Homo-oligomer: A and B are copies of this chain.
Amino acid sequence: MIRAAILGASGYVGGELMRLIAGHPAIKVGVAFGASSAGQPVSSVHPHLALAYASEHFARWDPKKLRGCDLILAALPHGETQRLADQLVAADLPIVDLGADFRLDSAEQFERWYGEPHARPDLLSTFVYGLPEFHREEIRGAARVAAPGCYPTAASLALRPLIEAGLVEPTGIIVDAASGVSGAGRGAGAGTHFCAVDGNFRAYGLLGHRHTAEMEMMTGASILFTPHLASLSRGILATCYAQARQPGDPLQVLRDAYANERFVHVGEMPPETKWAAGSNAAFLTARYDERTNRIISLAAIDNLGKGAAGQMIQCANLMLNLDEAAGLSTMGIYP
C-alpha cells in the first residue's frame, strides 16, 4: 500500500480525501496533519468516518513524519504550500497540491489576482496543472501536480473543447456559476452561517474572483466570471455563454471530446449538481441558440469531488501508475 501524508486533513477536502482513501485499493493514510486539531481523534472532527478511522489521530505538522510516506496530498489554505515549499521539496515525494499556489504558470498573474508576490516563482514551472481530461500524459510523468479547484474545473470542462474546435469566440465569455457552501471551507463566519444561506441565493466576488485567472489560462479566452452561493452543501453548476463563431453542434463537440473519459458524461438533459454529489463525475450539456447566435454550455460537478479531493486522487492514481479510477466513483448519491 502507498502511504499518503495528508496536509489539511481536518478540513472538508481533507475529510473527503480520507473517505476516498479508506475505500482505495492501493493507498492508505500514512499521516493526517491537521494543524488546529493536532492530537485529537479523527472522529472528533470527522464523525462520519468514526467506523473507518476508529483510532487515528491528527498529527501536528512535522516534516520528519513524511519519512515513511510515499505521497503528499496537500489541501491547505491558499499561501500555505508556498510557505512549506522547502520542507516539501526536501521530502522528495510526489505531491498533489490543491492550493492556488502553483496553479498559475506566471508569477505576474499570481500577484495580479492574489494581491501579493509569489514566494517561490522558481518552483512554478515544476508543477503540472492537474486536470486529467486535458493533461493526462503530463500528469502521468509528473512529480508535482497542482490540481485545479472547483470553478475552473467546471468551466474548463464546459468551454475548452468548444474553444479548441473554433466554435465560439474566445473573448467576453460569461461564466455564471453557483456553488455549494463547502467550497468556502469549514471556517465559520457570517457568510457561512446556516441562516445566511438557507433559502437564499446571491452572487459574490463580482468582477474580481481569483478563479478567473485559471479559467483564462485553461481556455485561452477572456472571461467574466460570476460565482453565486446556493443553498446546498456540495455541488457546482457552471452555466457558460459565448458568442458563436461558426456553425456546429456544441453538444456533439463535447460528446466527441469526452467519448473516452470515464468521469465525464455528456447528455441532452441539463445537468444537476446532485447527480454528482459524492462522486468524481462531471455532467455536461450544450446548445446553440440561433436567435442570439450564442452558445450555452453547462457542467455540474461536486466541488469536493471532481472539484477537489476526487480530482486529487485521480491525479495521484495517474502519477503512481494505478488505475486512474481507483477509489473513485462515477455515481452521485441521489436523492
Residues on A facing B (Cβ under 8 Å): 12, 15, 19, 22-23, 43, 46-52, 171-172, 174, 176, 178, 180-182, 186, 188-190, 192-204, 206-207, 222-224, 226, 228, 230-235, 237, 239, 241, 243, 262-263, 265, 267, 269-279, 281, 283, 285, 287, 289, 291-294, 296, 298, 300, 329-335
Contacts and interface: CB of A to CB of B under 8 A. Distances in A.
B239 A199 contact: no
Identical copies in the complex? 4
A201 B235 contact: yes
Nearest to A230: B201
A242 to B, nearest CB: 10
A53 to B, nearest CB: 9
A296 B207 contact: yes
Contacts of A292: 171-172, 222-224
B267 A50 contact: yes
A47 B272 contact: yes
Nearest to A196: B335
Contacts of A52: 330-331
B178 A201 contact: yes
A14 B331 CA distance: 14
Most buried by B among A12, A196, A223: A196
B51 A262 contact: yes
A139 to B, nearest CB: 21
B275 A48 contact: yes
B331 A19 contact: yes
A49 B331 contact: yes
A73 to B, nearest CB: 17
A112 B203 CA distance: 33
Nearest to A267: B50
Given A48-B279, A198-B233, 5 more contacts: A178-B201, A180-B199, A198-B232, A200-B232, A201-B230
A278 B281 contact: no
B300 A202 contact: yes
Contact of A283 (B50, B243, B275): B50
Contacts of A279: 48
Contact of A294 (B174, B269, B273, B283): B174
A47 B207 contact: no
Contacts of A206: 270, 285, 287, 296
A202 B283 CA distance: 11
A334 B302 CA distance: 12
